């Protein structure tokens, strides 16, 4: 045996052929034998593999060896056969059906040529390739596992996606996904997926796959598709687009928890060198660390939730070891108990408990440790601040473990809120019991028995109210004590209660003395979970006095209605927008309509815009504290002149103080108003009469000026000395005096006519100017000095400018008469009258003052009375100051008088109009 034979035998683990070959090749049992010449041409071939060659040996000439080989194998046989001696040759021959024959052999001299012995090494190459692929698979699996275990939880989804992409690209998988079992819902869900850009997407992240994967056998990879036979679970095959697919399970101690899904993938063709074990390892490297990290994350979240829950509930666990000297507390519980350490001595922990509960806890802990009796107590903790109430905790514990590992474990739960609620509920229950016992109403309970309601309970107030007990109120006796006229109502009350679940009725019930009481019965039916009646709970309230009072009220209302309808006064109700809701017959008569037509009519339609605005403004000032307002209103009634009503409003308010309705009473004041106007006009004409002398002087003065101017012009004309400038000057003077006289006459005409119906806005300074235009010259002509202060401010008041002039004229004329009378008795007396004005933010004041010595203090209170005068009989009417007082009051102001150091001082006070 040669050295080449031994080497080839060691490599292929088989022995080389022994013996010398004959000159002509025989029929070897295995392999392929080629007899070559010195140049490497094939002279003869033998062996069973020669039949698998695509190129056969010609009979007439040698065949070059490289013609039998694939191109890449020709490099191994460069040169001559003698150069190949001692070398292992791996040659690839084209075979039948496009197969490749992988052969290995060696060359050795034989006779004059060379014998090339070759054997089939396809199995050896396949095992080597599988070993390389398995090593690569193990390397990738290890790298995947390492990446998943070392990455952060935040990068975990991205790393999983990257590893799926590596698997898909390494083994040419078009679509790959990792499906995990949702343990809570027991359904499969795609955790992550990857598909090539030219492959359709079978799945998406987070997709719920339901439960079809449960139908697969989880012991090994599952091949789906027509190549392996139609799979019986069509729903599973649908997950792979009804095409070839490959599913690899991953199992742990909980069972199959993950599947590696490969879509559009014929695994036996694309990766035949990977075994099921390799795929299981690959799926385990991906799913195992991922599930571990996800469970770790879930566990951490559960710990955080538990810690948050313990903090919110004020609870935590405790544990006492077998030695029984120390107690271990949950960190949250130690923080709640304000302890620096979670491990305390047992005595220290017991000192935290209130002294009233401490010994009981100690005793129960000993019973738990010695006899295993379960600990369940409600205890109080000793407060750090004596002013605070102790906190209540529920303390529970039990024995766990045996022998040296025996320990006491439990929890402490803050139940302060529950205890406080229980105490409040107990107090409320006690108050309710006391209220029921002392209530004037009778609280009762009726049980539902076979379609009837039978009395089962009455509160203690039944005896003082009706003189009965529960025994006196069975169903039959109760009906007998109801007033005969109300029994049908009582039976209907019971039917309505059973039908609708609640009822409210009123009927009469006889007491033990034989007297009837009106009772208000309110009841509600209670039902069980099936909706069937159980009992009725209600109360009786004695409303005898209220019922009798209501009857009296009804009778009073009837009398009131008759009184309202027959009243001569106008009575109505209207909303804040002046829409009538009710009006009696007199109001309808005034408005020329029927009473039933009044609701819906706007009362302001008969008022001017100014009157309506003032009316609404007056209503806006009504409040619950000052609900009444009275005023005189002016209306333009259908087909009539202006009518004046004295109108009194009373506001009706809701619980928030908002005006919801107005009740009003009015009377016709037209005749009185007209009489007042006539009286004012008469007083005005009397004033004009008193001013006649002064007015004559006011007119005579310009006439004298004109007469003198005319005389002077005539003299010039008679002398022939007439100049145009002189004549123009005289004519202008005559024209100015004519205008002066005309102004006086025109103002007398305006002053003498009746006032306007509606008040107007005007400046009080204009009334002062008008007054002075009529009186100034006459006053000065009689030697009375007028001291007039200019009014530097612009202000407006609401009223009648001519009537204010009338008041000022009355005051100045009265002052003039008093001054002239004093001058007759005192020759050296120098009379004067002062008129000036002042204002503030709300009012303007006009002052008329003289130096006549004042008014007798005994007469000051009567000076504004009608027909009161200090003048001689036949000289004064006594109406001037009385009418003046009424004029100022009608304008919303006030006229007053007092004595100063020099004489009388009158003050006219008027409100400034809001428009100013």
> What digits encode the pLDDT tens for the residues 343-384?
888 888 888 888 888 899 889 888 888 888 888 889 888 887
- Listed in sequence order, the residues at least 6 apart from 666 whose beta carbon sits closer than 8 Å to its beta carbon are 569, 570, 571, 572, 587, 633, 645, 646, 647, 648
Closest to 906 measured CA to CA, from 850, 859, 858, 866: 850
Q: Are strands 785-788 and 832-839 parallel, antiparallel or unpaired?
A: parallel
Distances (CA, A) of 64 to 38, 42, 61: 11, 6, 10
d(CA 829, CA 816): 13
Cβ(448)–Cβ(533) below 8 Å: yes
Phi, psi of 482 (to 5 degrees): -80, 140
- pLDDT confidence of residue 859: 78
d(CA 31, CA 8): 14
**Strand, coil or helix: what is 33?**
strand
Q: Classify domain 567-668 at the CATH topology level.
A: Beta-Lactamase (3.30.450)
- pLDDT confidence of residue 178: 92
Residue 55 CA, distance from chain mean position: 91
- Least trusted range by pLDDT, from 118-127, 213-222, 307-316, 606-615: 307-316
Beta-carbon neighbour count of residue 660 at 10 Å?
11
Using the 8-state DSSP alphabet, how is residue 841 labeled?
S
- pLDDT confidence of residue 2: 39
Tokens standing for residue 536: 């009725």
**Residues facing 539 on adjacent strands:** 443, 522
Confidence of residue 861 (pLDDT cuts 50, 70, 90): confident
- Least trusted range by pLDDT, from 210-224, 347-361, 448-462: 210-224
Tell whether the torsion through CA atoms of 153, 157, 162 and 167 is positive or negative.
Answer: positive
Q: Which residue spans within 48-205 are E strands per DSSP?
A: 63-64, 89-94, 100-110, 113-120, 175-182, 187-195
Cβ(4)–Cβ(89) below 8 Å: no
| Positions of CATH 3.30.450.20 in the chain | 314-421, 440-548, 567-668
- pLDDT confidence of residue 536: 92
Tokens standing for residue 60: 């007439």
Beta-carbon neighbour count of residue 711 at 10 Å?
10
Confidence of residue 316 (pLDDT cuts 50, 70, 90): confident
Confidence of residue 505 (pLDDT cuts 50, 70, 90): very high
Helix (H) or strand (E) holding 509: strand 502-510
Q: b/e per residue, 508-525, with b = 16+ CB within 10 A?
A: bbeeeeeeebbbbbebeb
Query: Is residue 733 classed exposed, middle or buried when 0-12, 13-18 and 19+ CB atoms within 10 A define those classes?
Result: middle
- pLDDT confidence of residue 27: 66
Under CATH, to which class is 3-120 assigned? alpha beta
Tokens standing for residue 568: 């001569």
Using the 8-state DSSP alphabet, how is residue 78 labeled?
-
Question: What angle do the packed helices 764-781 and 724-752 form, to 10 degrees?
Answer: 120
Tokens standing for residue 785: 């000095």
d(CA 828, CA 813): 21
- pLDDT confidence of residue 916: 45
d(CA 111, CA 317): 97
d(CA 661, CA 574): 6
Beta-carbon neighbour count of residue 471 at 10 Å?
8
Q: Which residue spans within 591-639 are E strands per DSSP?
A: 628-636
d(CA 379, CA 371): 21
Q: Best-predicted range by mean pLDDT among 424-428, 549-553, 704-708?
A: 424-428
pLDDT at 8 over 80: no
The dotted CATH code for 140-300 is: 3.30.450.40
Query: Is residue 194 classed exposed, middle or buried when 0-12, 13-18 and 19+ CB atoms within 10 A define those classes?
Result: buried
**Strand, coil or helix: what is 619?**
helix
Tell whether the torsion through CA atoms of 770, 775, 780 and 785 is positive or negative.
Answer: negative
The counts of H helices and E strands in the chain are 22, 35
> Does pTM surpass 0.85?
no
Phi, psi of 315 (to 5 degrees): -130, 170
- pLDDT confidence of residue 14: 37
Confidence of residue 689 (pLDDT cuts 50, 70, 90): low
Closest to 293 measured CA to CA, from 189, 219, 191: 191
d(CA 353, CA 62): 112
Confidence of residue 12 (pLDDT cuts 50, 70, 90): very low
| Positions of CATH 3.30.450.40 in the chain | 140-300
Tokens standing for residue 529: 């979970």
Confidence of residue 696 (pLDDT cuts 50, 70, 90): low
pLDDT at 425 over 50: yes
d(CA 185, CA 214): 13
pLDDT at 688 over 60: no
pLDDT tens-digit profile of 481-494?
899 999 999 999 99
d(CA 516, CA 544): 9
pLDDT tens-digit profile of 625-677?
988 888 888 777 765 567 778 888 999 998 888 999 998 988 876 766 666 66
pLDDT tens-digit profile of 523-540?
999 998 888 999 999 988
Q: Region of 389 please: left (phi>0), alpha (psi -120 to 50) or beta.
A: beta
Confidence of residue 23 (pLDDT cuts 50, 70, 90): very low
d(CA 610, CA 616): 10
| Positions of CATH 3.30.565.10 in the chain | 677-911
Cβ(241)–Cβ(202) below 8 Å: yes
> How are strands ordered across the β-sheet holding 41-46?
63-64, 41-46, 32-36, 113-120, 100-110, 89-94
Q: Classify domain 440-548 at the CATH topology level.
A: Beta-Lactamase (3.30.450)
- Listed in sequence order, the residues at least 6 apart from 827 whose beta carbon sits closer than 8 Å to its beta carbon are none
Closest to 251 measured CA to CA, from 204, 216, 287, 225: 287
- pLDDT confidence of residue 681: 58
pLDDT tens-digit profile of 539-574?
888 888 888 877 777 776 666 666 677 677 888 999
Q: Classify domain 314-421 at the CATH topology level.
A: Beta-Lactamase (3.30.450)
Cβ(231)–Cβ(215) below 8 Å: no
More confident residue, 508 or 268: 508
More confident residue, 706 or 857: 857
Residue 120 CA, distance from chain mean position: 86
Cβ(79)–Cβ(64) below 8 Å: no
Average pLDDT over residues 824-832: 87
Helix (H) or strand (E) holding 613: helix 609-620
Closest to 591 measured CA to CA, from 672, 668, 675: 668
Average pLDDT over residues 592-616: 85
More confident residue, 866 or 69: 69
d(CA 883, CA 789): 26
More confident residue, 866 or 446: 446
Q: Which residue spans within 381-458 are E strands per DSSP?
A: 392-400, 407-414, 442-449, 452-458
Q: How far apart are the first and last CA of the chain?
A: 141
- pLDDT confidence of residue 638: 63
pLDDT tens-digit profile of 26-38?
667 678 888 888 8
Distances (CA, A) of 359 to 353, 376, 534: 9, 14, 47
Q: Classify domain 677-911 at the CATH topology level.
A: Heat Shock Protein 90 (3.30.565)
**Strand, coil or helix: what is 855?**
coil
CA angle, 571 then 574 then 579, to 5°: 125
Q: Mean pLDDT for the chain?
A: 80
d(CA 210, CA 625): 75
């Amino acid at each position: 045996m040669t050295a080449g034979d031994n080497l080839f035998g060691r490599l292929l683990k088989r022995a080389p052929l022994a013996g010398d070959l004959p000159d002509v090749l025989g029929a070897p049992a295995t392999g392929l034998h080629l007899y070559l010449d010195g140049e490497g041409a094939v002279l003869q071939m033998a062996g069973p593999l020669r039949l698998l060659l695509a190129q056969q040996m010609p009979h007439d000439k040698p065949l070059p060896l490289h013609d039998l080989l694939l191109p890449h194998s020709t490099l191994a046989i460069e040169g001559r056969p003698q150069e190949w001696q001692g070398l292992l040759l791996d040659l690839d021959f084209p075979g039948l059906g496009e197969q490749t024959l992988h052969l290995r052999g060696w060359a050795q001299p034989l006779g004059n040529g060379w014998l090339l012995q070759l054997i089939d090494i396809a199995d050896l190459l396949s095992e080597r390739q599988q070993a390389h692929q398995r090593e690569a698979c193990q390397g990738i699996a290890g790298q995947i596992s390492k990446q998943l275990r070392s990455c952060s939880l935040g990068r975990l989804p991205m790393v999983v996606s990257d590893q799926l992409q590596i698997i898909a690209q390494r083994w040419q998988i078009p679509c790959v996904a990792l499906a995990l079992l949702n343990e809570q819902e027991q359904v499969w869900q795609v955790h992550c997926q990857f598909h090539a850009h030219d492959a359709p997407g079978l799945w998406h992240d987070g997709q719920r796959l339901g439960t079809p994967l449960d139908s697969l056998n989880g012991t090994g990879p599952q091949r789906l598709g027509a190549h392996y036979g139609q799979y019986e679970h069509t729903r599973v095959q649908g997950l792979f687009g009804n095409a070839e697919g490959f599913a690899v399970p991953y199992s742990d101690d909980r069972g199959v928890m993950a599947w590696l899904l490969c879509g559009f993938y014929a695994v036996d063709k694309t990766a035949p060198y990977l075994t099921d074990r390799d795929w299981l390892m690959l799926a385990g490297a991906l799913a195992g660390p991922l599930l571990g990290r996800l469970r770790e994350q879930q566990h951490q979240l559960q710990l955080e939730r538990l810690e948050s829950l313990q903090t919110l509930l004020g609870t935590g666990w405790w544990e006492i070891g077998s030695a029984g000297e120390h107690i271990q507390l949950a960190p949250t519980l130690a923080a709640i108990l304000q302890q620096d350490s979670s491990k305390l001595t047992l005595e220290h922990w017991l000192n935290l408990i209130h002294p009233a509960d401490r010994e009981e806890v100690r005793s129960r802990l000993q019973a738990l440790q010695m006899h295993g009796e379960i600990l369940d107590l409600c205890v109080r903790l000793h407060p750090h601040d004596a002013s605070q109430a102790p906190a209540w905790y529920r303390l529970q514990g039990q024995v766990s473990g045996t022998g040296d590992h025996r320990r006491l474990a439990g929890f402490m739960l803050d139940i302060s809120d529950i205890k406080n609620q229980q105490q409040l509920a107990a107090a409320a229950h006690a108050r309710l019991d006391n209220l029921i016992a002392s209530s004037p109403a009778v609280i009762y309970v009726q049980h539902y028995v076979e379609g009837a309601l039978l009395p089962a309970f009455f509160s203690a107030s039944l005896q003082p109210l009706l003189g009965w007990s529960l025994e006196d109120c069975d169903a039959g006796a109760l009906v007998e004590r109801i007033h005969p006229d109300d029994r049908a109502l009582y039976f209907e009350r019971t039917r309505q209660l059973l039908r609708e679940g609640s009822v409210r009725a009123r009927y009469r019930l006889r007491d033990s003395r034989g007297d009837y009481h009106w009772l208000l019965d309110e009841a509600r039916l209670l039902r069980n979970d099936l909706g069937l009646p159980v009992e009725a709970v209600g109360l009786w309230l004695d409303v005898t006095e209220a019922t009798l009072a209501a009857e009296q009220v009804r009778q009073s209302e009837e009398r009131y209605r008759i009184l309202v309808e027959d009243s001569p006064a106008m009575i109505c109700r209207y909303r804040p927008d002046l829409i009538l809701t009710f009006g009696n017959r007199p109001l309808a008569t005034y408005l020329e309509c029927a009473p039933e037509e009044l609701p819906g009519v706007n009362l302001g339609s008969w008022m001017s815009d100014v009157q309506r605005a003032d009316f609404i403004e007056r209503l806006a000032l009504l409040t619950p504290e000052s609900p009444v307002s009275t005023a005189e209103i002016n209306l333009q009634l259908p087909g009539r002149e202006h009518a004046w009503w004295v109108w009194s409003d009373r506001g009706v308010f809701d619980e928030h103080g908002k005006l919801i309705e107005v009740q009003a009473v009015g009377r016709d004041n037209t005749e009185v108003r007209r009489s007042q106007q006539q009286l004012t006009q008469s007083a005005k004409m009397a004033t004009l009469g008193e001013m006649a002398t002064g007015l004559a002087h006011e007119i005579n003065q310009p006439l004298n000026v004109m007469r003198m101017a005319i005389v002077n012009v005539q003299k010039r004309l008679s002398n022939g000395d007439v100049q145009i400038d002189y004549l123009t000057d005289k004519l202008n003077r005559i024209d100015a005096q004519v205008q002066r006289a005309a102004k006086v006459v025109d103002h007398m005409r305006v002053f003498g006519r009746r006032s306007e119906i509606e008040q107007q806005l005007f400046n009080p300074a204009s009334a002062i100017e008008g007054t002075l235009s009529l009186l100034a010259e006459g006053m000065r002509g009689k030697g009375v000095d007028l001291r007039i202060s200019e009014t530097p401010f612009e202000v407006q008041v609401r009223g009648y400018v001519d009537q204010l002039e009338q008041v000022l004229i009355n005051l100045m004329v009265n002052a003039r008469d008093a001054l002239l009378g004093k001058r007759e008795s005192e020759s050296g007396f120098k009379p004067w009258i002062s008129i000036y004005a002042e204002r503030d933010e709300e009012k303007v004041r006009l002052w008329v003052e003289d130096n006549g010595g004042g008014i007798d203090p005994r007469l000051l209170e009567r000076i504004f009375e009608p027909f009161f005068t200090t003048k001689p009989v036949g000289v004064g009417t006594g109406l001037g100051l009385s009418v003046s007082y009424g004029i100022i009051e009608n304008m919303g102001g006030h006229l007053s008088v007092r004595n100063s150091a020099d004489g009388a001082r009158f003050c006219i006070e008027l409100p400034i109009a809001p428009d100013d």
